[in-house]
Structure formats: C-alpha cells, structure tokens
Amino acid sequence: MQCPFCQHSSNRVLESRSAEGGRSIRRRRECLECERRFTTYERIEYVPISVIKRGGDRESFDRSKLLRGIVTACEKTGVSARTVEMIVDEIEAELQQQAVREVTSEEIGERVLRCLQQINEVAYVRFASVYRQFQGIRDFAEALSHLKDSSLKKVGLPEGRPEGRPEGYLSPLWRTINVLVIGTSKAFKAFSN
C-alpha cells in the first residue's frame, strides 16, 4: 500500500476494525518514510450492477446517490442516520444477491418506498413525490390514501370506519390530513377557475 503523501510503499498497520456493518475493514496506517498516518478500507469487490433509467439510459449503481435521495426524504423526520444506512445496506445487498446484473430505477425506487413506508410516513410521501413525479394535490391524496389503507391492513383494522363509530368517522390524524387535502384542493380549484 503506497502512502498517499510521499508514495513510499512501506507502512505499518496501527489499528484494524470492522466498518460499514461488517462489510469492510478499516485500517489505520503509518508511513515508515514520512511518518504520516492515513486510513484504508478493505471491501468485498462486487460485480457491478447496471441501473436502467426511465429514458432507457444505463449507468452503474451508485450507492451514494441512493443514500442522498433517502437522506433528503428523511430530513427533519427523526429518522436516524444509522437507519438510513441500514436501508441502503439492505437494498444494496438485495441487488447484489440477484442473478440479474441489471435493475430498473423503478425497482430500486419501489424497494425504497417499501422500506420508508414501514419507518416514517412523511419520508415515504416525500420520496414518493419525487420518485413518482407528483404533478398535483391528487397525487399526494392518492399516496396518503395508499398509506392509510396499508396501515389499516398492517394493524388488522377494517378499511371502513371503526366499529361503533358513526358514518363518516375519521381518526384525528386522518381528519387533519383530510382537511389539508380537501382545503388545498378547494383552494387550488378556486385559484384555477
């Protein structure tokens, strides 16, 4: 291993530890010539994955691009950096385990949405709005409706109103969302007329 400062090839390892959830080894080294310290990482070399974009273009899978998209969706939601890293690790591991070396950007986006739906609804809607290219309030309303339906199924509640509740009952959360969506929709209609 060459020193990045003086390009001398002799150095010694000062410390080794597991990194990236056990997927790599981080080594702290010291050059025997200039005595400066530097860090190296030892990783498994994966076969590259090609991502087929919406327009048909192909590009190499870029972990950092995926990470940036998820971090942006999770901003100010309370989702920890560790959780975001775990989502990216999980998706990357799933892609590496596939026999096919090409994957569509849609497939990656759907994997992200499945993960975010379980972790944080706000992050889910944010990611979906960019990934699915929302054009207006109806797209947001559909995403919220999908979230509502899937969260009811997840906890085993019927999709209709809870038993013993009057017709038109909405929980406080969905009442707030309904007011926002309907209010915004009415404002949008009034503005466009």
Residue range 68-85, pLDDT digits in tens: 999 999 999 989 998 999
Torsion of CA 113, 118, 119, 121, to 10 degrees: 70
Q: What are phi and psi of 112, to 5 degrees?
A: -60, -45
Interval 142-189: pLDDT, tens: 888 877 777 655 544 444 444 544 455 445 544 544 544 444 444 444
The label of the residue with tokens 């339906």 reads 149
- Amino acid making up residue 186: K
Q: What percent of the chain has pLDDT over 90?
A: 36
- What pLDDT is attached to residue 134? 81
- What pLDDT is attached to residue 184? 43
* Cα 151 to Cα 187: distance, rounded to the nearest angstrom: 28
Contact of 33 with 3, CB cutoff 8 Å? yes
* Cα 65 to Cα 79: distance, rounded to the nearest angstrom: 18
Among 34-43, 92-101, 104-113, the minimum mean pLDDT is found in 92-101
Torsion of CA 82, 86, 92, 96, to 10 degrees: 130
DSSP string for the chain: ---TTT--S-EEEEEEEEEGGGTEEEEEEEETTT--EEEEEEEPPPPP-EEE-TTS-EEE--HHHHHHHHHHHHTTTT--HHHHHHHHHHHHHHHHHSS-SEEEHHHHHHHHHHHHHHH-HHHHHHHHHHHTT--SHHHHHHHHHHHHHHHHHHTT--SSPPTTPPTT---HHHHHHHHHHHHHHHHHHHHH-
Instruction: Give me the sheet containing 24-31, strands edge to edge.
Output: 11-19, 24-31, 37-43
Return the bridge partners of 50, or none: 60, 102
